[in-house]
Amino acid sequence: MHRIVIVGGGAGGLALATQLGKRLGRKKLAEITLVDSARTHVWKPLLHQLAAGSYDTHAEEIEFLAQARWNCFRFRLGSLVGVDRARKTIQLAASYDETGMEITPAQELAYDTLVISVGSQTNDFGTLGAGEHTIKLDSPQAAKRFNNRLINECIRAQSVPRVPGMGRLTVTIVGGGATGVELAAELHAAARVLANFGLDNIHPEKDLQIVLVEAAPRLLSQLPERLSDSAVRELRKLAVEVHTNEKVVEVTADAVKMASGKVIRSTLTVWAAGVKAADFLKTLGGEKPLETNRLNQLMVNGNLQTTQDADIYAFGDCAACQQPDGTWVPPRAQAAYQQAMYLVKALPKLMKGEPVTPFVFRDQGSLVSLSEYSSVGSLMGSLTRGSLFIEGRLAQLMYWSLHKQHQLALGGLRKTALITLSEMLDRTYRPRIKLH
């Protein structure tokens, strides 16, 4: 039986494993195995909510073992550390629990087709002190760590006297892309809820100071300027301090220093600027490693096959795929999802040696959530001629629908309907943010 091993259980990897399990695994046409270093899946666009505490992990996290059982694929816990292309095997590192006790030993898995979808990580560009003094929101573990520190600092700030013109607690977010903008708005909303749960000295405008720093001339620089202007307008209504054209050159335990000489006193600093693929991808493949670019992304052709090995595929943030017009597929959730759905149809044909049409990314626009206050976005592609700018309730509804589309791909209509009902019921008795 043909063995398909998928490494990485992010939005694209898990959707691919789920759909291939239904189409091939259930019919015993192939053996599908998903590998990930964690036991659960969290939709990455919601990490800012997890960091702020407004994300219910128990309701939203997907257990890989359960998903595998329901959709006819296998799950293996482990981190990819090597690929033997000649023997067609991958090497997984041993996994350990929080006490250091081994969960799974180092192991080897054989494959006929290997698909790598390990996502990306935050790129601090080697900025002095960024590695030691910032939290990078590129994983659920990092988001939970930030949330724990945030709650602790809010409690600690209760005993700090208020200084005119300064907050008791300052959170500095480096990076004015979607993650940074969404986190800033979510933190403001979280502060309002915290005040209702006893931390009444943490006023979102007076006591919690939120600072957003961006090196580019404007926020959301990769998106239309009108969308950027609308986001800035909403953030300023929330008293978020915005600094553009400011390159961070050093981060210390209590400050962020810019090239201009400006210094921001910071209690908590989040790095949300830039992405790159994991460093280990540069050496993957042994003596003849797979081809990568300067961001460590695996180079792939139009069929998403790596340039050095037709039996190894890569997609999502960890892959560099050039389009027919010369542009590159952007590292965005919608691109990873489209590539996963492409492989669902293409892999069975390629396994039989049949030709397939190359992957083409269809930009459907961008949406940025500003917590409960608003959302902004632009719709593109087949929906409109050019692009359509939207904001407010309509944009919030569209943003919500993207999450539902992801849930539909993983669980189907019935399960998604039950999850949605559960979310509505939860809001009636659960705190709106995580308090522990």
pLDDT of 397 reads: 58
Q: Can you tell me the distance from the alpha carbon of 390 to that of 374, in angstroms, rounded to the nearest whole number?
A: 11
pLDDT of 435 reads: 33
pLDDT of 163 reads: 62
Q: Can you tell me the distance from the alpha carbon of 38 to that of 35, in angstroms, rounded to the nearest whole number?
A: 9
Q: Are 128 and 20 in contact (CB under 8 A)?
A: no
Q: Are 330 and 336 in contact (CB under 8 A)?
A: no
Residue 381 gets the label, from left (phi > 0), alpha (psi -120 to 50) or beta, of left
Provide the residue-wise pLDDT of the chain in tens; the chain has 436 residues.
Answer: 999 999 999 989 999 999 999 999 999 999 999 999 999 888 777 777 777 776 665 556 789 999 999 999 999 999 999 999 999 999 999 999 888 899 999 999 999 999 999 999 999 999 999 999 999 988 888 888 988 888 888 777 777 666 665 667 899 999 998 888 888 888 887 776 665 555 555 555 567 889 999 999 999 887 778 878 888 888 888 889 999 999 999 999 999 999 999 999 999 999 999 889 999 999 998 788 999 999 999 999 999 999 999 999 999 999 999 998 999 999 888 899 999 999 999 999 998 889 999 999 987 766 566 655 555 454 443 333 345 454 555 555 555 566 666 666 666 677 667 656 665 555 544 434 343 3
Asked if the domains 2-120+277-351 and 130-273 are classified in one and the same CATH topology, the answer is: yes
Burial environment of residue 57 by CB neighbours within 10 A (0 to 12, 13 to 18, 19 or more)? middle
Locate 29 and state its tokens.
């046409």
Q: Can you tell me the distance from the alpha carbon of 27 to that of 72, in angstroms, rounded to the nearest whole number?
A: 9
Q: Are 257 and 248 in contact (CB under 8 A)?
A: yes
Any idea where the domains of the chain sit in the sequence? 2-120+277-351, 130-273, 365-426
Matching CATH number, 2-120+277-351, of 3.40.50.620, 3.40.50.40, 3.20.20.70, 3.50.50.60: 3.50.50.60
Nearest C-alpha neighbor of 117 from the set 2, 214, 36: 36
Top-level CATH class of 130-273? alpha beta
pLDDT of 381 reads: 39
Q: Are 168 and 162 in contact (CB under 8 A)?
A: yes
Query: Long-range contacts for 91-95 (Cβ within 8 Å, ≥24 apart)?
Result: 92/35, 95/37
pTM: 0.83
